[in-house]
Structure 1
Amino acid sequence: MTATAMAPRRTFRLLSRMNLTSRLTLMAILTMAIAVGISLWTSMSITSGEMYRRAQTALDINIKLLDSALTAYGPARRDGDKLYFGNTLINNNFEAVDRVKSIAGGTATVFMGDLRVATNVAKPDGSRAVGTKLAQGPAYDTVFNKRQTYRGEANILGENYLTVYQPIVSGNEVLGIAYVGVKKAEFFTVLEQLMWTSLIGGLVVIVLAGAAMFFLVRRIFAPVGIICRDLVAMAMEASGRTIDAKHLSQIEEMHEAVTLLGEATRAKQAAEAEAAALRERVDAQRRRRGEQAAVAAEDRSRAVQERVRAMDEISSTVKKNAGEAAEADRVATSTCDVADRSGQIVAQAIEAMSRIEESSNKISDIISVIDEIARQTNLLALNAAVEAARAGEAGRGFAVVATEVRSLAQRSSQAAKDIKQLIVSSSDRVKQGVGLVNSAGSSLSEIVEQIRKVAGIVSGIAVANNEQAAGLEQINRTLVQLDEASGGAAAWDADEEAMAA
């Protein structure tokens, strides 16, 4: 909700907290303020109208003075960019406009067309506003378009004036304008002073009259406050309630007090009737309670017995679950042991694979030595064949032997290469086998760890089931005790009912 919308509510609450004296005084002050305001507005309206009429009369006199001063030179004519009256050049000739100011006051201007050529209107720097043009507006339209005299307000160089613009006509042509005016603020200064004087006087009258009215009304209505206090005290004593007088007027306080007295009387009568009815209801309720107590005791006994049977069944189930959980714990422990042994076997297999890999590497080294020997033998056989060829017929037999040795060396080298390739292939497969066995070992380790966790969980479940079984047995014993106590309470209620009857 906006502050504007909340203002009437705050005003209403403020008025509601006022006493009768303050309200009547405020009403009188408001009435006088309205009367003074209407009187002041009426007098200001009449005075303003009269002042405006006098201003127009003064301006009519000024325009006649300016017209007489100009026509005394002769008829108006325009020669290029110069304005003449008779043989007198008016451009920058301030004699006529200054004569009007010295005789009647105000400002005066002679326009050639819409251009100021002689004026006593000052610009902000204090110089004459010669060379400035008439702004487009009502005055311009009235003079140049309608060829009529304009009377009214106009803004000249940023200030408001009461003005008269009269066209300078020669034949059917408007040669320029004769202007007179007076600043509106200067002319109405007297009216503003009169308004403030009247306003201050009216406020003084309102304050004095309000003070006199306040003391008079307060003296007249003093007994009303005493009556209000006594009535409020009686109402508060009779009803046992308080009246918050901070937000109430005297009339509202008295109304609240009368309302409380009426409510107290009605409350007393209602309390007496309710007490009689209450006694009857208590008697009837006492009889019904005795009958209901026996039925309720039987119902509670049956319900307790049913709960006891249900708890027995639950206890048996929990014990069975505890036994099964213990068996599962034993199975999980056995599985964990088997997995541990499998892990040991995998570790042994990994170790055997490692030894095989080492043997393969050694064999590969031996084959490399054999291959090198075959290569050297091949070179020796080649050299022997060369030497046998040089020996001719004498070395022919030796050449045949060298050729055979070379052939044997080449086959040995090829066989060594094939064996080495097979050993390398076997070594790669052994490495793959070692990797697989390592993976299997890691998986078995994880499986063993998970089995151990499962064994721990199953063991916890077994312990929880045993504790739950013990708790259920305790609950069962408590229900039996409640059944016995329920029977005793039913007997006590029956005895109490018999005594009440």
Structure 2
Amino acid sequence: LTFIADSVSAEIKSRVQLATALATTIADVPELQAAFARQDRDALNRLTKKIYTDLQRDYGVRQFQFHTTDAHSFFRAHKPGKFDDDLSSFRHTVVDANIGKKSVQGIESGVAGLGLRGVVPVSYQGRHVGTVEIGLALDQKFFEELRNRYQVDLTIYLKKGQGFIPTLSTIEREATDKEVLNEIMKGETFINITQGGDTHLGFFVSPLKDYSGNIIGGLEIIKDHSAQAAVESAVIRDVLVLTVLIMLVGGVLAWFIARSISRPLGSEPFELAGIACRVAKGNLDVEFSGKNPKGVYAALKNMVMQLKELVTRVKDTAANVDKESAALAQMSSLLSKRTDEQSRLLVATAESIEILTRTVHANAENARAATKLANNVNQKAHHGEEVVGEVIGAMNEISESSKQANEIISVIEEIAFQTNLLALNASVEAARAGESGRGFAVVANEVRNLAQRSATSASEIKLLLEDSAQKVTSGASLVNRAGEVLEDIFASMGELVHVVDEIADETREQSTGIGQINGSITDLRGCTLHNAELVRGASQSSKILGDHASQLSELMAQFRVSVSPVADSYRALSGREKTGASEGKQKPVKGRVVDTPKERHQEDVKPAPLRKAVGGGDEWGAF
């Protein structure tokens, strides 16, 4: 029904496209464009008369008309005497084609009912002059053609107010349920098959849309499946009869075949089937009767025994893998924690090394500053030594000047002494002269006083010069000692500068070495982080392995087998582990020694001695 509905829709769409193509061809005829532009109905009648006859005969064209730009009918080739009527109120395809100046096609209701219309704009010398329309019939004749072609009945329902009217139909029957048509108006599609006696009818109802895409009703397609249903019933009946006959014949043949092959099988088929069913359900504890089995029975027994042994080994292996994966997961978890702790300690060490690097760098800067200060002090000490030398020279010159001054003072004292003697002699001579020498005596007396005062002053100056000479001598001695001390200081400053230079060089080398250590610790930290990621991946893989081992154990648990010695040994070992009897030693298990996962874990993860971390009190844990 869906295929037929699609085919009918394609037929309608094809006729709409045909109408549009014919209208487009007519709109491109220059003579018709010119006559329409001149509003010449006679010319249009003359030019379109034969065209309309051919279109009606070949394509079933029912309408062929020209419209003005205001949607008035200008000329109808199918009715030349009717024109100039206003179509704008109900022929919306004409209005839209004139407004949009583009082709409009589809289903539209008109005065004569539904039609398949193609409306194309007409232009003359670049000016829009109106539209031309080709209309094909959507009528009873078209539906009868579709009915004969697809062997179906068709009905079109149009929405009118609150109800639906069957506009076109190829069958007389009651209208389709209104609720179904209401759903069709919402865009739904309805498919149903009804049966009444020997009659089988298929119903397909789909929305019917106009040129603008609006749903205006529904298209119902009905197909009678009665003949097909009768053929299908006959075929089913024949197949059932044939099946019963085949089953009867097959049963007889099966009985004879079973009897003929039971001897090569070595046992009855039902017994073999029972054994196979139990094995298929996982029960391998199958008892085989007979001391000397033969044929298929013997092969089946051998297969079950080998399968039983294989399942037992797989179970034991799964138990081993489960225990080992649990131990591996525990060790991986512990190793992951140790790796994380080591990463944390490396971070702390890197921070301490960074602080130490900054300290050493600061010391290097201070050493360089101390070198500069020591060189400056050394230069000033050298300059002080030169100044002291100059002071010593000046003191020596002062000492020589003091000696010369003493000599001059001695001369002055001698002159004063001689002057005093002369004055004394003059006084004596004045006394002898009597009254006439009295004035001269006064002068001589004054000269004598001056000579005495000069002698006294010269003596005092001499004493001062001698004291000054002693102090200059003492100062010169002190200056000499200061010069010697400055020489010692200068020598010590040279040694100090040399030592500070060596300290600065060593500090720079130490800073470089610590920088290399810091880089190595950074690389080690990266490696440790990478190892931590690998350990986490290994831990996750061990967990996944444990899950797979558990799943394998669950799958193997579906097989029921007798308890094997290996399984007994593992159960005994598990019991001793729970009671604590397996700590620190290897336990014998029925003739062989098995290391418990706990013992191996303790041996593998035994911690190495701890050592102090650089720059802090944290401890390093070795792998």
Higher percent of residues as strand? 2
Q: TM over 0.5, yes or no?
A: no
Which has the bigger relative contact order, CA under 8 A and spacing at least 6? Answer: 1
TM-score by length of 1: 0.38
Q: Tell me which protein shows more helix as a share of its residues.
A: 1
